[in-house]
Structure 1
């Protein structure tokens, strides 16, 4: 910023202010920048109606005197709280944490904060509870995680509240278009799962177990469809006897893994619809004296941090979950909101998959 030098001997009003060690207020910023309080508010709230020169001048004063806007005062002035809500009913704690970290990456330093609100979609008060949460917090926007991101009643309630919201979903195309208009961040789950199926087939596996996600989850449907497509491309199909439903939790993966590996003949490979369940399969295999990948190949989904930390390293479909959270916050706070942001998924091959034992007779 270009500033006009003060004549020699004329005291700098900012230096004089700093000597008084007074807590800076918006009125101080307005006085020192020689603009109105309303102009300072517009600069703080990134209004496009302020000239660049004035904006630079106000921001320079804010930086020099260390002024920190009061979120509560801003909320009263603009009838909103400068809070984003993250609403979810999801048993996968690591997924929620990764989304949350992505949102925090984007809003850090912006004066906007995040409020996390877990809920129970099976509760009879589910919709009313979220409505009350949005109204009490006077949220600036809401990020809705799967599976409730596909709940039509919830979306209608958010529309009725006239609060901006973004849905994170695994459903591209027409299936992902509700009767409500909203921004969405889409993960192409099918793409990565197709690659996972092709990878196992190319390693010679023919008896493959599949642990699905919870019933009613769009991600569970998309991952199953992608896996089926990959097998079909290799001339294979899933045996219905080798399909077990999981709940996206370690415990459900362990139970499903034991059920699959107790069959005779057992599968030589298992695809698990998330990494938490895949690690549960590791435990089930170890208890049965099976080695990964010599006796059993295992593939997960998410490529969560645990995938690279377990031994052997877990082959997993990478979904850029933290980036998805960042994009959701961007979609809410950006001046030019996008209708849809799409992220691809890809298979990350590690040590948990290997060639099928040619001596194994299914």
Structure 2
């Protein structure tokens, strides 16, 4: 059975061509071989594909507007990204279009192409998980839509597109190392959403620290879930129900950590003397709990501003013909360890924020 609404990706797959080729056909550019044109036309008819006229002819006059595209469960992260991008755009005379969307939408490429054309955007700033989805990036590349992406990684070999790397792995290593240095050997890990690369990177850092200090990575201490307070509660309850529960919990973000703290205190345990809890990101959750949470500070507003400034410069170089491969922006940030009372025993407060 056919989908209720075919996408440009569906047409490309059925015809065995790229998304860009389908775009050339629907735009009647005349640069497509006859046999290819026939295959694409047949696919369009078979799928009853209706190209959106607003998504055609993406190339146009110079634009002074950017789009921020996101699908992220962390409201604090999204708000900080929006504010940082908006501040930089205002200083540089750019407009900003904010576009929430669903990363699982099968028509996501058509949706983004339409948005770029309707709003006459110069390019897109993309955050996780969209920025970490190969199909989305390939679709944008084939439609020649400029973008810069923010991803969780220290680097990506061979990456030729503008990118901002957040080194979550090393930051997670430092948090785990801190817990080990506090005397903990039974360290649990509550992981975030599967579709976010940050969940994997932070777990890798956690496992590397355990391995380097000669500690066993107990699988019963590693629970997969989502970036939510509710998962933190449920995950902590699951850990406390173990015959040999952990003495510390490293949560993949502060919201999970706040939920874990709630469950632990509900169970009548003291933090940190009976169980220590650490989070990640330094969101308001980390400062609104009692005790306050040890975490890794991710300066999202600063990251957003520098990302935007770098992208605008890159776009200007492209438009002037000065762009070079070695000039493609690749920025790197590493969240910094912030020590607070949730992991520090009495008398060890010399480095507390």
Which TM bucket (shorter chain)? 0.7 to 0.9
SS at match of 1:84: strand
Match of 1:141 in 2: 123
1:278 counterpart = 2:260? no
Q: Give, in angstroms, the shift of residue 355 of structure 1.
A: 5.1
Match of 2:162 in 1: 183
Match of 1:158 in 2: 140
Match of 1:29 in 2: none
From 344, 347, 353, give the equivalent of 1:354.
344
1:114 counterpart = 2:96? yes
CA distance in 2, matches of 1:202, 1:319: 23
1:105 counterpart = 2:87? yes
Alignment of 1:73-112 (within 5 A): 79=61, 81-112=63-94
Match of 2:182 in 1: 203
Match of 1:8 in 2: none
| Deviation per residue, 1:12-68 (Å, 9 max, x gap) | xxxxxxxxxxxxxxxxxxxxxxxxxxxxxxxxxxxxxxxxxxxxxxxxxxxxxxxxx
CA distance in 1, matches of 2:113, 2:239: 42
Kept in 1: contact 2:155–2:165 (CA 8 A): no
Q: Give, in angstroms, the shift of residue 81 of structure 1.
A: 4.8
CA distance in 1, matches of 2:156, 2:330: 13
SS at match of 2:278: strand
1:193 counterpart = 2:172? yes
Match of 1:260 in 2: 239
From 308, 313, 329, give the equivalent of 2:287.
308
Runs of 4+ in 1 over 3 A off after TM superposition: 335-338
Structure 1 residue ranges without an equivalent (≥5): 1-77, 357-362
Alignment of 1:27-46 (within 5 A): none
CA distance in 1, matches of 2:302, 2:188: 30
From 189, 213, 220, give the equivalent of 1:234.
213
CA distance in 2, matches of 1:264, 1:131: 54
Match of 1:173 in 2: 155
Match of 1:47 in 2: none
Would you say how many aligned residue pairs link Structure 1 and Structure 2? 276
Kept in 2: contact 1:192–1:318 (CA 8 A): no
| Deviation per residue, 1:166-213 (Å, 9 max, x gap) | 0101123346x45xx321111111111111111111111111110112
Match of 2:56 in 1: none
SS at match of 1:173: coil
1:345 counterpart = 2:327? no
CA distance in 2, matches of 1:152, 1:292: 42
Larger Rg: 1
CA distance in 1, matches of 2:63, 2:155: 34
Structure 2 residue ranges without an equivalent (≥5): 1-59, 318-326, 347-353
CA RMSD of aligned residues (A): 1.9
SS at match of 1:108: helix
1:244 counterpart = 2:223? yes
